[in-house]
Amino acid sequence: MPQKLRSIHPDDAQDERLAALPLESAYTYAYLPTVLDDEGRAKDQPAVLNGYLWPLRADDHPTEAMDADLATLNNAGLICRYEVTGRPYLHDPRWKTRHKLTRPTPSTLPPCAVHEKSFDEAVTETFGKFAEQVNSAVGVAASHIDQKRIQDSLARLVEDVTYLVDPEKAVANGQKVRNMFSRSKSGEDQLTESAAEPGESDE
């Protein structure tokens, strides 16, 4: 289990979702960061977690109570319980915005497929949806004409969003978006040249 210091977020006392929880579930949530790794993940093992979070009151708060706490927190959206290859895990979806760690240790546990997509996956998905909207609105030709503007706008959006979570990576992530456009444009140019070659040979 993690040994690094963890802190309680100051906004938790005013969080309406926390205020609506039973006191036992709120206690479990308050101390849950002490058993999460540096990426906010843990194995979803109620008996083990109960031993760490309620070590001196196990009689009053048995494993069944911990399982109920985790279910309550999951239903409230404060944690996410998920499975990878049939094995249960949990994580804090807001971990990166709630905890700023110095030299975090990479997690050995698999990420949640819902909340923790890789940057490339998230950008690719966002760009795909964005491109579909552009194409349906102004047509394929217009999307090619305005590609530079779209590239810059999406890159700036990614930089702004990344800056809120990790300022040091904002510029690099924006550049990744620009590189994706460049690779896409290069591939289209090659296809255009290949399609033109038969006509050129006929001349």
Domain containing residue 68: CATH number = 1.10.10
Q: Could you list the residue range(s) of the whole structural domain that residue 65 is in?
A: 10-98
Q: Print burial letters for 15-35: b (CB count within 10 Å at least 16), e (below 16).
A: eeebeebeebbbbbbeebbeb
CA dihedral 97, 102, 103, 105 (to 10 degrees): -60
- Mean pLDDT over the full length of the chain: 79
Least confident of 4-13, 14-23, 59-68: 4-13
**133 in the same domain as 76:** no
pLDDT band at 71 (very low <50, low <70, confident <90, very high): very high
Query: Tens digit of pLDDT for each residue in 27-38?
Result: 999 999 999 999
User: What 3-state class would DSSP assign to 198?
Assistant: helix
Rounded Cα–Cα distance for residues 147 and 85 (Å): 40
Work out the average pLDDT over 143-169.
71
| Other beta carbons within 10 Å of 170 | 18
Give the chain's largest Cα–Cα span: 89
Tokens, residue 116: 């923790």
160-183 pLDDT, tens digit per residue, is 777 666 677 778 877 887 787 676
Residue 165 lies in a domain: yes
Q: Between 150 and 128, whose confidence is greater?
A: 150
Count of domains for the chain: 2
Residues forming beta bridges with residue 91, ordered by sequence position? 41, 80
Q: Is residue 92 located within the same domain as residue 140?
A: no
Give how far Cα 16 sits from Cα of 66, 76, 78, 98, Å: 21, 10, 11, 17
Within-domain flag for 199? no
Please check whether residues 88 and 132 belong to one and the same domain: no
pLDDT tens-digit profile of 74-120? 999 999 999 999 999 999 998 988 888 888 899 999 999 887 765 45
Tell me: pLDDT of 203 over 60.
no
Q: Are residues 155 and 88 located together in one domain of the fold?
A: no
